[in-house]
Each structure stands twice: as C-alpha cells, then as structure tokens.
Amino acid sequence: MTTGMRSVDPAPFTLRRATGGLAEGAAALERDLDRAELAAVLGGANRKAARKARTGAFAGMKPGPADWYTFDAADDDTDDWYPQGVTCASDGGYDSPAFAVSWYWRPASGERGARVSFLDPGSLRYRHVLLVTAEPDGSFGPVPVHAGGIAWYAGHLFVADTAHGLRVFDLARFLDMKTGRDDTGDPEKIGRHGGEPHAFGYRYILPQVDAWAVDEGAARFSYLAVDRGGERDLLLSGEYVKEKGRTGRVARWALDGAALTETDGAAVPIDAYTAPDGEIQGAVSHEGTWYFSRGRGGSGNGSLIVVPEGEKPAARSYPVGPEDLTCWREQGTLWSVTEFRGRRSVFAVRL
C-alpha cells in the first residue's frame, strides 16, 4: 500500500457497458456528413495558441512551469466555456505531439454541452470540436456533461460523466458539418432543422459511440488519466470532494484496446485508494508514483501532491485553478490545464 493513500474496496467503481443505440446513431450521422481524420482537423485548425507567452496563470507558482501554451484572447476571456480535462497523444501511444482539452458550457440556459480543443504544439494551431450524441434516427444534440477529465487511448477519447461513468468517442470519426454546403450551419442551432444538420456553427463534431455506466450513487467520475508505465495499460478515474475533512477515491481499470477489461459483463477496477487530500481535480499514476492536482478555488494557488511508492506525500507549488493531469512520457513532463478566466493555459512541470 502507498503511504498516504489507503486501499479501499474497488467495487463501487464497477462499470457495465451501456452502448445502447450510440454506435447506430453515429453511423446515421455519417450517412449525411463526411468523416475526417484528426490530421485534417489539426491541419485546418482555425485558432492560434502561443508558447510561453506572458500570462497571469502562474502568479505565486515557484518555481514556474517548464513549458506552457496559452489560448487566444477570446478563449482566455470567455465566461461561457471553462476548460477542465486534458490528455495528450502520449496517452494514446503516438509519437507525434498533440493535446486535447475539454471545456464545459457554464451558462444556466441554452445548453451547449461539452467541446474538446485539439492543439498541435508544432504549428501552435488548435480547433474546438463539439461533442454530440446521436439517435439511430439521425437526430442529435449536445453532450451535457462537466467533462472534468478526458483520456486518449487506442484511438478513442474517454470523457468523465460525473454521476454516470464514462462516455467514449472515436477519434477516427470526426464529422464535417460543411459537407455539401458553403457554411457550417446556424451558430444558434443544434440538431436537424428543415432537414439540415446544425451544430452551433462548429466545423467538426465528434459523436459518442460507447458508454460505461456505474450504479447510481456508487462513485463519481471527476477526472481521468492513462497509466502506461506498468506491465499493462490502465485507465484511472477519481472523485472530486470539497467537503471539509473528506477525501475522494481513485480507481484503476485494465484496458483492453478501446474498452475496459470485463469479467462476466462487468469492468471491476484492479485497485482503488483514498486520495491524499480533498479538492483533487486530477490524478495520474506513473511508474509507481502518484501525482494529484489540488485546487483551492479562484483565489489561491493550488498544489501538486506527489506520492512516491512507500513514501509520504509531498506538495509542490502549482498555479491557481489546476485541473486534470496527463503525462507526456517521452518528454518526462506532467501537464495540466488552468480553468479560470483571464489566466488559462496548458502547462507542464518535470516529473
């Protein structure tokens, strides 16, 4: 057992596949819209990031980050969308670098669900892609989740659905909303209107193809990560708990391609532990060491809690608003994203 983390029963995190008509719905959309590869999405990315640009994201963080990327001014300042989850191509086993960042729609009205930004650090270009869920009849709508964590693995994107489990998207099935027309549709509409598909004006959508469901009230899914540092690859999820004096739990499942390993129709985690502190926004395990991103709201610096196997937890300086975590293994860096308006960045520290 890791010092600072207590082993607990993994059963509450048991997941069961809940595909339903999702794959059929995605196929129905493909009958009207051309499929695109990630390379095309990144190659035509329409927003410009900046590397190591001046930002207030790291005030009070000493030492500062090893590397970082900032979003354009409009995305940095919007109060409608808040970044939450982050994953990278290294999670998926790819050599070429790329990041994915999830955002949730914050306004109480006019639900627009969740979107994912795909960033090419080489070109410094990125594009937002809207997540959608479709029915077998071809109707579709937004995915109304917080998207607090995402994980890229085996060509798929796992997205945390806080009270329900996991949603899964196929990264080979981006759909081009510009198919057969000169524009990308009405920026105020989603779904089919007058026989035409619309997705709030986004050029690309990504339909959900699978789901994993947890028993109601058993566990929460606040963040996600991939552990590729052991004998088998694992998916990690954990709980954000804000109540004073309480901590959440983290659990890990063995991966079987783009699915969790099942026994008798259930995916039971191989292990589960208590987190070392409350208000954990992200976690990743790598080669026997656990890393936890702890937030303190919008007014105080967070911390990176490091728990090596058999040792006590140690806290490292972190910025305000740190969220999900991902590991760029080839580079030896740990990445996160900061969420608050006016100081948003994807940033790295050394492992």
Mean local confidence (pLDDT), 95-107: 95
Residue 2 has pLDDT above 80, yes or no: no
Q: Residue 301 in contact with residue 322, Cβ under 8 Å? A: no
**CATH number (domain holding residue 145):** 2.115.10
Residue 211 and residue 59: Cα distance in Å, rounded?
Answer: 39
Mean local confidence (pLDDT), 209-216: 97
Classify residue 3: in a domain, yes or no: no
Classify residue 5: in a domain, yes or no: no
Residue 299 has pLDDT above 90, yes or no: no
Classify residue 4: in a domain, yes or no: no
Report pLDDT for 297: 87
- Would you tell me how many other CB atoms lie within 10 Å of the CB of residue 263? 7
Torsion, Cα 227 130 44 225, to 10 degrees, reads -10
Classify residue 311: in a domain, yes or no: yes
pLDDT tens for each residue of 113-138? 999 999 999 999 999 999 999 999 99
Percent of the chain with pLDDT over 70: 99
Report pLDDT for 3: 58
Classify residue 69: in a domain, yes or no: yes
Token output for 328: 């760029």
Domain of residue 23, residue span: 11-350
Report pLDDT for 264: 95
Classify residue 2: in a domain, yes or no: no
Report pLDDT for 309: 87
Q: Residue 339 in contact with residue 240, Cβ under 8 Å? A: no
Predicted TM-score (pTM) above 0.85: yes
The chain-wide mean pLDDT, for the chain, equals 96
Residue scoring higher pLDDT (94 or 67): 67
Residue 189 and residue 183: Cα distance in Å, rounded?
Answer: 14
pLDDT tens for each residue of 185-195? 999 999 999 98
Round the CA-based radius of gyration of the chain to a whole number and report it: 19
Helix (H) or strand (E) holding 321: none
Classify residue 85: in a domain, yes or no: yes
Classify residue 197: in a domain, yes or no: yes
Residue 221 has pLDDT above 70, yes or no: yes
Q: Could you give the 3-state DSSP secondary structure of residue 164?
A: coil
pLDDT tens for each residue of 15-58? 999 999 999 999 999 999 999 999 999 999 999 999 999 999 99
Torsion, Cα 189 192 195 201, to 10 degrees, reads 40
Nearest by Cα to 341 from 73, 114, 105, 49? 73
Q: Compute the C-alpha angle 146/150/156, nearest 5°.
A: 125
Token output for 149: 């964590």
Residue 158 and residue 211: Cα distance in Å, rounded?
Answer: 9
pLDDT tens for each residue of 326-338? 999 999 999 999 9
Residue with tokens 């990041």: 99
Residue 318 and residue 265: Cα distance in Å, rounded?
Answer: 41
pLDDT tens for each residue of 140-183? 999 999 999 999 999 999 999 999 999 999 999 999 999 999 99
Domains identified in the chain, total number? 1
